[in-house]
Amino acid sequence: MQKVLGDFIHALRHAGLPISPAETLDALHAARLLGLSNPTSLKAGLGMTLAKSLPHQVQFERLFDQFFSINQEHLDEVDGNDRNTSIQTTTQKSSELVTEASSPSQRDHAEPVQSPLGIQLMSGDQANLQIVIASAAEGAGASQMQVFTQKSVVSYRIMQQLGEEQLNNEINKLTRDKENFELVEALRTKQQILRQQVRDYVEQQYLLFSKEKGEQLREDELQKITLSNIDQSDYQRMTRLVQKAAKQLASMHSRRRRITKRGLLDVRKTIAANAAYDGFLFHTKWKSTRIERPKVMVLCDVSGSVSRVSRFLLLFLYSLQDVLPRVRSFVFATDLVEVTDDFKKQDLEIAITSIMSKRANLPTDYGKALDDFKTLALKDIDPKTTVIMLGDARNNHADANSRVWQEVYQHSKRVLWLNPEGRFSWNSGDSIMSHYASYCSRVEHCSSLRDLTRILGSLLKHS
């Protein structure tokens, strides 16, 4: 019982249901009281201990039906305290059934079926066969698959554990005698049916225990892929990943943190706090630093391939509203415009799509864009402002206008440039990265979601 229930809870956790160790113990206690013979009572009892909300309840009921329909024969054995069934014991039972069930012509064969798997197949005992398949699947790692391509490998391992190699040798031996033709054909037919049963069982195990692992691997790989290479079919998935990463960062930095520097005594506050004690220092006050939420201005180059990276950066920043409530956004190709109000008036994704459709994929002129930024926002930059530029610094051989960027750096002192191109491409062709790098606090290569998470996490940590 404990093993079956443990596998079921593993499947629930794999599907995303949060189940604590204490709840696992409660579920095991409920299962012992209710038993495994009544699925309706068991389903209700486990649902009360393992499902915390209506969506969880719906998911629990679906997985319960799927899991226990697969393992029904196994459950019957568990409930009857006869779970230690093996191929050897099954062979003894099956051999008796073969003797009774076989036709007279089969009993008269010179070389009757001797292999354990062959005897099992000829017995026609599907209940025992399902138990044997489940036991072999456990040893073959059916619940540990990572991707769907492993299903054929696991199916092969199960067949080998069941004794298919010995069965094949026996079939080859029986084939030499033409009198065994019907027996050989029967064995081969049952072998094919068994293979299909094993494949079905493995597929069900994959859906229960491994499907989400494949999705997780896919998401892990998407976090590493260059954002400009993201296929259109993955945009929705990538959007969810960006919002998920932003939510995780927000939860880490949502509190206004107060860092006390032990060792730096605040003399004035200490004297004031102990004035009533005739100079005796009963209470000490320490100097402290309060970390405020940063004010952010972000400039996004939306020309060419950079537009895709800009799209996800804007989505990331505006998904951090709990910890970055003061974000002003500017986009440019040639002319720079502020789009902050667009995000206040429209849904986040709709606003980004609208902005990109109007402004993206035009020729780039950093000099003109910086002139516009000076007019719109330079006066509002102070030492508490973090300025982020996302762009590849490819200026079509136009004037860099780096003196404006120098003024931005002098006003802020916290200037971050994110370049989606690899460092080896900087200052090649029409790239003028060297004109701006001297006036940046940090210059980072940023082309993937993992890069965005790392850089923005660092910004929140040290701002």
- Could you write out the DSSP letters of every residue in 31-91? HHHH-SS-HHHHHHHHHHHH--SHHHHHHHHHHHHHHHHHTHHHHHHHHTT-----HHHHH
pLDDT of residue 198: 87
| HEC per residue, 248-294 | HHHHHHCCCCEEEEEEEECHHHHHHHCHHHCCCCCCCCEEEEECCCC
- 8-state DSSP, 394: B
**Distance between CA 187 and CA 292 in Å, rounded?**
76
How many CB atoms lie under 10 A from the CB of residue 134?
A: 20
pLDDT of residue 416: 93
The β-bridge partners of 389 are: 299, 417
Supply the pTM of this predicted model. Answer: 0.55
Give, in order, the Cα–Cα distances in Å from 237 to each of 178, 215, 231, 234, 453. 60, 10, 10, 5, 16
Domain ranges of the chain: 2-79, 87-221, 259-290, 295-462
CATH architecture of 295-462: 3-Layer(aba) Sandwich (3.40)
User: Mean pLDDT per 10-residue run, the chain (463 residues)?
Assistant: 70 74 81 78 82 80 72 50 42 42 41 80 78 79 74 88 88 85 87 87 74 65 75 75 79 55 72 79 71 78 84 84 81 90 84 84 89 94 91 91 94 92 90 94 90 85 67
**Counting Cβ atoms within 10 Å, is residue 404 exposed (0-12), middle (13-18) or buried (19+)?**
buried
pLDDT of residue 374: 94
pLDDT of residue 212: 62
DSSP 446-461: --SHHHHHHHHHHHHH
CA torsion through residues 107, 113, 119, 123, sign: negative
pLDDT of residue 150: 81
Give the total residue count for the chain: 463
